[in-house]
Structure 1
């Protein structure tokens, strides 16, 4: 099997890198202007965007930003639902699955250089039906995340301005901002902005975990007299509450569909795994840090999103610092959704990697369409925690974990006559991952729907009401 992988890697090099002009200086053109030939994007030259320009450090920043931004703001609420110790265990369990799935993304890209995303994995697994089926799930997942990001940015604007205007206005402003950012065509250039996004969100999270322990009491607790944070080491949630909490963790970490896009635009896809492991370590550390610290000091008075636990003043400061990070979460996921539509529309034509009129019109139609749908979602489901849980439940495992488990089995187990105990062990893990993904999809969706029903009176579609909890606090 190792020899087969070596052949697959050689195939990748043959199709993708052998046409590069100069390994020492890939920016130098050739006589015909071709820099590199890519199995997905075709001939990449100076006449169009560089879809193979993402550096290793740029990939790390994008991956880290993709996992730290939205879901992490609801992680303390998960700890409140399941308890301190189960909260840590759930994060570690889900992260183990997601890290493996993200690792398989890189392996799949090397074995199948024509794969751009999870939709192509569907084609490898089940032909046209598999491709179309996963295309719908992938687009819904990406656009729903973009919708939750619009909601998060509007919440930040409400908090900073103390609800200076109708929330529906802030949602619209957030959508326009997202459209402008996501319209940057290459992930190489998106990664430059992601530096600001990653630094801002990490700085805001660190400020939050420093400020909350220094407070006399959480903002949501009674401001006079005794108060009980009711800290639970092990809580006793209902099945629906537990599954909803797990779904929120899934939403925070299930980025495999976006990681495919990152791998496809990297200068050196062979460095993907190293970049991914670094970003996973950073993301896991911050998920546990934020969850443990905020829940330990706030207990039952945890606010959702988490910056509300720091009180009105520091909430405004945290959101002010975090806005670039929240905006870049919107940019990344909306960009990946639009890029899929763009690649699918122009794949196999010169227009995909050349700045023609058709190229530009198609790109802006794709970005505009994603923006409009994400805006409608964010306005129709105005409750941040509920939206995060619902997205993670319905699509997180379904598009991030299950396809990767099946792809591993297809490439490494089915038809392999030289199976070793390691192969059987890997197959057992892949089957477990697929079954766990199915269970979390079904059970988590149930839990999220129950939570949505219970919180149905807390927000109205296209509402002007403050969604940051700043007014009257």
Structure 2
């Protein structure tokens, strides 16, 4: 077989190691046909099609600004559709966060809780809407670190890249704890909790080792249906039962329902940390848009994702809080009694595994792309390709396992991750990327009215990010200290799911 040569009009991009791919050579004859792309559809990332003598005996090669030459027979790194993008984004957010949202209303009260959810979701929607245009303007970007290299240079790449990986390792750790809680609930603590965490890590590593996001999307669909069914079942259950599981079993009970709460500063900030965590997966959107067939269609699934998340968090969270009040559990699936607790967790387990899969896949993929960038092994089925990929997924899962075993407290992991990582990785970088393209790189060009308004909103959001990070970390550390208990010691075999029998 002859390898397709590049067309004379092909563009080249520098790779992440500072070099450039080989210069494109012109076709031998202008009369030779250019082959159309096969499964790799047209977009700004496709740099050339092969010019060959015999199309029947040739391999179709497409140059991608991130993955290099994409050939038929290799992994399809450009197969994500808008529907797949929506389910990946929705499932990456909808899972661990929604299980903690009802407890937010118990601290803040119904009205402030709804206002906080809507405000934070609006910030996420605003910042995430910049990702698609930024990717189109800078096609070599695949990860948050790559985006930071554009607006902050090498130091920015290393800082934000490290923050991204650590954040999603923490997310995977929270998913591991969530799975262990579910397994304890379903089996009535049928085994040591440390064993359940290890089992979840093994299954999660196997699923997250699927190589492309387009193939991972089926896990996302199954997980989204799973979590939706569990949360809807919970909502119906608490609405039809006489009292929540943790309320007094007999006699009158006071759910202490509050329209406006009176939380302490630590309680208020930890509640905001939970809301921040519930929709903080936007850093993975750089990878999703990079693997889309048409990145120009990215904005619609983003808007659909946040509309879905906001409406569901407000409706389900407020309903569960209305019926449970101060007796709402965190995770919320334990609010409806022992039998329904088993049912809800049984329904939710595939969704928790799906969250674990996505979190580990995206953190490992960033390491994988960084290690093999500029080499043919990135998109070819070579031994080095497979060894690097499986090593990346295993290493990311091992780190998540160690964190989950050391801090086996679901709510504390959510709150700590929300404070330390969410504003600085899921909001601020997208705003800084817009500022780079529209302000810093165009200093001699007058700003339009729309750009001035956007710049002012961005400045306000960056100030809020600083406040949320500093205050949130303080509150999370204080909360973690006070939540220590006997059954949450590191590598403990004790039940972490509360009452199960």
Under a length normalisation based on structure 2, what TM-score does the superposition of the two structures give? 0.88
Q: Partner of 2:458 in structure 1?
A: 430
Greater Cα shift, 355-364 or 31-40: 31-40
Aligned residues: CA RMSD = 1.6
Query: How many residues align structurally?
Result: 455
> Residue by residue, what CA displacement relative to the aligned partner does 1:248-277 show, whole Å, maximum 9, x if unpaired?
111010111111111111111111101111
SS at match of 2:95: coil
Q: 1:30–1:464: structure 2 CA closer, same or farther, 3 Å change rule? A: farther
> Which residue in 1 is equivalent to 2:472?
444
Is the 8 Å Cα contact of residues 42 and 294 (structure 2) preserved in structure 1?
no
Cα distance in 2, alignment partners of residues 62 and 187 from structure 1: 8
Correspondence for 1:25: none
Deviation at 1:31, TM superposition (A): 5.8
- In the alignment, the residues of structure 2 paired with residue 33 and residue 466 of structure 1 have an alpha-carbon distance, to the nearest angstrom, of 56
User: Residues 389-410 of structure 1: CA distance to partner in whole angstroms, max 9, x if unpaired?
Assistant: 1001000111111111111111
Q: Is the CA contact 1:16–1:36 (under 8 Å) kept in the aligned structure 2? A: no
- 2:36 maps to what in 1? none
How far residue 49 of structure 1 moved from its aligned partner, in angstroms, is 0.6
Q: Residue 344 of structure 2 corresponds to which residue in structure 1? A: 318
CA–CA distance in structure 1, aligned partners of residues 189 and 424 of structure 2: 37
Larger Rg: 2
Q: How far apart in 1 are the matches of 2:68 and 2:499?
A: 51
Aligned twin of 1:420? 448
Alpha-carbon distance in structure 2 between the residues aligned to 1:392 and 1:64: 17
Q: Which of 288, 300, 303 is the aligned partner of 2:314?
A: 288
1:116-168 deviation line (CA, Å, top 9, x unaligned) = 01101211122111111111111110100000001101111110001011111
1:148-227 matches, within 5 Å, as 148-227=174-253
Give yes or no for the alignment of 1:19 onto 2:53: no
Task: Indicate which of 453, 461, 464 corresponds to 2:493.
Answer: 464
Question: What is the CA deviation profile of residues 320-377 of structure 1, one whole-angstrom value per residue up to 9, with x for unaligned ones?
Answer: 1111111000000110000000000001100000000100000011011011000011
Quick check: 1:328 aligned with 2:354?
yes
**Structure 1 partner of 2:291:** 265
Q: Give the CA deviation at 1:471.
A: 3.4
Matched, 1:279 2:298: no
Give the deviation of 1:457 after TM superposition. Answer: 2.2
What aligned pairs does 1:383-394 form with structure 2 within 5 A after superposition? 383-394=409-420
CA displacement 1:216-266 (0-9 Å, x = unmatched)? 001010001111000111111111111111011110101111111111111
Q: Which runs of 5+ in 2 are unaligned?
A: 1-12, 14-40
Structure-2 separation of matches of 1:450 and 1:428? 34
Deviation at 1:203, TM superposition (A): 1.1
SS at match of 1:310: coil
* Structure 1 segments unaligned to the other structure (5+ residues): 1-10, 22-28
Cα drift, residue 15 of structure 1: 4.7
Partner deviation per Cα, 1:47-106 (whole Å, 9 max, x = no partner): 421110111211111111111010110001111111111110111010001011211111
Report what 2:263 is aligned to.
Answer: 237
Q: Distance in 2 between matches of 1:260 and 1:437?
A: 20
CA distance in 1, matches of 2:302, 2:428: 19
What residue number does 1:7 align with? none
Q: Cα–Cα, structure 1 residues 250 and 31, in superposed 2: closer, same or farther, change >3 Å? A: farther
SS of the aligned residue for 1:37 comes to strand
Could you say if the C-alpha distance between residues 455 and 117 of structure 1 is closer, same or farther in structure 2, counting changes exceeding 3 Å?
same
Secondary structure at 1:43 match in 2 = strand
Distance 1:159 1:111, change over 3 A: same
Q: What stretches of structure 1 move > 4 A for 4+ residues in a row? A: 11-15, 29-32
- Checking the alignment, whether the CA contact within 8 Å between 2:87 and 2:220 is kept in structure 1 is yes
**SS of the residue aligned with 1:468?**
coil
Where 2:293 maps in the other structure, the secondary structure is coil
Report the counterpart of residue 27 of structure 2 in structure 1. none
Counterpart of 1:6 in structure 2 is: none
Aligned partner of 1:131 in structure 2 is: 157
Contact 1:150–1:171 under 8 Å retained in 2: yes
CA apart distance, 1:36: 2.6
- Residue 132 of structure 2 corresponds to which residue in structure 1? 106
| Alpha-carbon separation, structure 2, partners of 1:307 and 1:316 | 9
Where 1:44 maps in the other structure, the secondary structure is strand
Name 2:60's counterpart in structure 1.
34
User: 1:354 aligned to 366, 372, 380, which one?
Assistant: 380
Distance 1:15 1:422 in 2: 26
